[in-house]
Amino acid sequence: MTKYNMLSAPDFMPVERLRDIQNRKFLAAFRRAYENVAWYRELLAQHQVDPSSIKSLADISKLPFIKKTDLRDTYPNGMLATSMDKIIRYHASSGTTGKPIVVPYTREDLDVWAECVSRCLTAFGLDENDVLQVGYGYGLFTGGLGLHDGGERRRCTVVPVSGGNTERHLMFIRDLNVTAIACTPSYFLHIIDHAQKIGFNWKDTKLKVGIFGAEPWTEEMRQFIESETGITAFDIYGLTEISGPGVGGECSSHAGVHIFEDHFYPEIVDPDTLEPLPDGESGELVFTTLDKTGMPLIRYRTRDITKIIAEPCACGRTIRRIGRISHRSDDMMIIRGVNVFPGQVESALLAVDPGLVNYQIHLSKGDAGLDVIEVKVELTREKFSELGDNTTSLEIFRRLIAEKLKSTVGINFKTTLVEPDAMPRSQGKIKRIYDNRNQ
């Protein structure tokens, strides 16, 4: 335990003690929501739940779920569980459709959040000797300020570059002896790409850790990032509604994301029947905030699809893990009856050539009214200089990709190659899916 600071001690507590704490906190959180949020009282009344029947965490399955649309419908302050004088910050989810979801934070909420990010940083092997460069956007998006506060809490030296300004990112990584960078995986791809263009040598830096999250990414992407730069890439997970990044993070085993379940109680439910599923089974991740005072959420449906891994982890942490988010339920594409996830496309492309990291998925209606799925793939500069003027070789390469996509996913893809640098780069969350089926 001496290796870890006191803040990370809850990661290692005996499971029975953790369950006791969760139980106690859950009852208080439920009471807080019930007593302070009129909307929540109505929800329980609608579902005919008698609040006095909630006596322990085991009763949680009697409670209704809170959905993303509920947060939109109660915009902006309908879920507030405290008086405004206690609220010291708002964030908003980056959702692009309709009204944003705004989340109010009290001092205690920000403290818990910073503590969780700090516990992630400890798990990534970082301490006061590290220099953490934050490449998530600062602002309403939780990425920037979340990593910033957590970095300071861990006593790292924080370099708040924010998203964009790739040239400056590289300059500071080198000049300020940055040891860890936090940004979206897609933005880091852009940084890698730019480094390659300007002849930046990663070996001339002290960078050792990458902290990537806020969007899905694959094991193949991890391998690409690590082999290009020599750093170790860690997954960090979170969502604004629950606090922000750092609801969970990987440890050095890289075998799932540990959830800080002393603060955020996770469940997996069947997304159709909403029945709770046992650990190990895939379904929708649901969270109950155990400590939040600004906007406590009881059984909030994240729409993220994953499973809980309850087996002990090699790192010794007793808090449970979740598997990689395979997809958001909104991102699953049903093409001619087959379920398609963007991650499958990414895995297939990177299996053909680890540099095929720039791609887009376009959906449209074909002649017979059937769905057409097209993958546009940007050639790497090496591949382009190798094959660029040879149409036969290009066609062979294109077919190789199309076949890999078909064997991975089980359906035919229209596959199109585009020249290097033809696709827009991401500074934050990247848009991969373009759905034109209703146009």
CB of 256 to ligand ADP, least distance (A): 11
Of residues 291-350, those binding Zn ion (CB under 5 A): 313, 315, 317
Structure tokens at 384: 């382009």
313 binds, among Zn ion, ligand ADP, none (CB under 5 to 8 A by kind): Zn ion
User: Rounded to whole angstroms, how far apart are CA atoms 58 and 265?
Assistant: 12
CB of 12 to Zn ion, least distance (A): 10
253 binds, among Zn ion, ligand ADP, none (CB under 5 to 8 A by kind): Zn ion
CB of 264 to ligand ADP, least distance (A): 13
Please say which residue, 321 or 432, places its beta carbon nearer to Zn ion: 321
CB of 268 to ligand ADP, least distance (A): 14
Contacts of residue 255, defined as CB under 8 A and 6 or more positions apart, other chains included, come to 309, 313, 314, 321
Please say which residue, 48 or 97, places its beta carbon nearer to ligand ADP: 97
Q: Does residue 25 belong to the site contacting Zn ion (CB under 5 A)?
A: no
CA dihedral 320, 323, 329, 332 (to 10 degrees): 180
302 binds, among ligand ADP, Zn ion, none (CB under 5 to 8 A by kind): ligand ADP
Find out whether 185 and 215 touch, Cβ atoms under 8 Å.
Answer: yes
User: Rounded to whole angstroms, how far apart are CA atoms 355 and 224?
Assistant: 7
Structure tokens at 128: 């006061």
CB of 60 to ligand ADP, least distance (A): 20
User: Rounded to whole angstroms, how far apart are CA atoms 338 and 408?
Assistant: 12
Which residues contact ligand ADP by CB under 6 A?
Answer: 93-95, 213-216, 235-240, 302, 304, 325, 328
Q: Could you write out the DSSP letters of every residue in 296-332? A: --SSEEEEEEE-EE-SPPTT---S-EE----EEGGG-
63 binds, among ligand ADP, Zn ion, none (CB under 5 to 8 A by kind): none
Burial 300-330 (b: 16+ CB within 10 A, else e): bbbbbbbbbbeeebeeebbbbbbebbbbbee
Of residues 242-261, those binding Zn ion (CB under 5 A): 251, 253
Please say which residue, 54 or 134, places its beta carbon nearer to ligand ADP: 134
94 binds, among Zn ion, ligand ADP, none (CB under 5 to 8 A by kind): ligand ADP
Taking residue 361's Cβ as centre, other Cβ atoms within 10 Å add up to: 21
Please say which residue, 214 or 335, places its beta carbon nearer to ligand ADP: 214
Please say which residue, 17 or 254, places its beta carbon nearer to Zn ion: 254
For residue 362, give the 3-state DSSP assignment.
Answer: strand
β-strand pairing of 433-435 with 359-365: parallel
Please say which residue, 139 or 323, places its beta carbon nearer to Zn ion: 323
251 binds, among ligand ADP, Zn ion, none (CB under 5 to 8 A by kind): Zn ion
Q: Does residue 112 belong to the site contacting Zn ion (CB under 5 A)?
A: no
Beta bridge partners of residue 259, listed in sequence order: 248
213 binds, among Zn ion, ligand ADP, none (CB under 5 to 8 A by kind): ligand ADP
β-strand pairing of 244-250 with 232-239: antiparallel
Positions touching Zn ion (CB under 5 A) are 251, 253, 313, 315, 317
